[in-house]
Amino acid sequence: MVEDDTPSRQLLVRRLSHAGWQVLDAPDGPSALEIVATHALSGILLDMGLPGMNGLEVLQRIRQNSTPLSLPIIMVTAFDERDYLVEALSKGANDFVSKPVDFSALKARLKAHLDLAETSKILSNLQARQELILRGANDGIWELDVQSGRLNHSQRWLDLLQYSGPQI
């Protein structure tokens, strides 16, 4: 949670903690970047209107090393900052909530993005395992994804077919 207004930050930290999440908080952009660099985070709530380094700058720095699927970022914005939301979304923000924060909406959005990130992580791990199995097997393994028409296969399968042309 990155929020420069101490009472607002403390309230959200308390409510998120009571909802079962472990929460780290930062009052400004540089502190937030330090936390991102030193902790494995699941998601970030990022205030747009931070002093010095604003939320867009923090977002851009974080997105240099993490994707929206690997680290969801929800922007927290005051009404007069809505013009920046399109820019924030185009720079990799996953979503936004407006101040004053409707906590039930925040919880639902945060849970949805965290669940999506976890599902993406599981899928990436499964794909990596499948690729490892295909490379490591000494059998001619192939699989056709009927929906996409994509053929996955081991090199051994091509060898058994005595195929040496361009990629299938």
Would you list the domain boundaries of the chain?
6-126, 137-168
Under CATH, which number does the domain 6-126 receive? Answer: 3.40.50.2300
What phi and psi, each to the nearest 5 degrees, are found at residue 84?
-80, -10
Residue 81 pLDDT: 67
Percent share of the chain, pLDDT over 70: 96
Q: Tell me the pairing of strands 142-145 and 150-153.
A: antiparallel
Beta carbons within 10 angstroms of residue 135's beta carbon? 11
The one-character DSSP state at 135 is: H
Q: If you average pLDDT over every residue of the chain, what do you get?
A: 91
* For residue 27, pLDDT beyond 70: yes
Residues 6+ apart with CB under 8 A from 17: 23
DSSP string, 59-128: HHHHHTT--TTTS-EEEEE-GGGGGGHHHHHHTT--EEEESSP-HHHHHHHHHHHHHHHHHHHHHHHHHH
* For residue 137, pLDDT beyond 90: no
pLDDT in tens, 45-101: 999 999 889 999 999 999 999 999 999 999 999 867 667 888 999 999 999 999 999
Grade residue 131 by pLDDT with cuts at 50, 70 and 90.
Answer: confident
72, amino acid identity:
P
Asked whether the bond before 166 is cis by omega within 30 degrees of 0, the reply is no
Residue 28 pLDDT: 97
* H or E segment and range at residue 1: none
Asked whether 59 and 73 are in contact (CB, 8 A), the reply is: yes
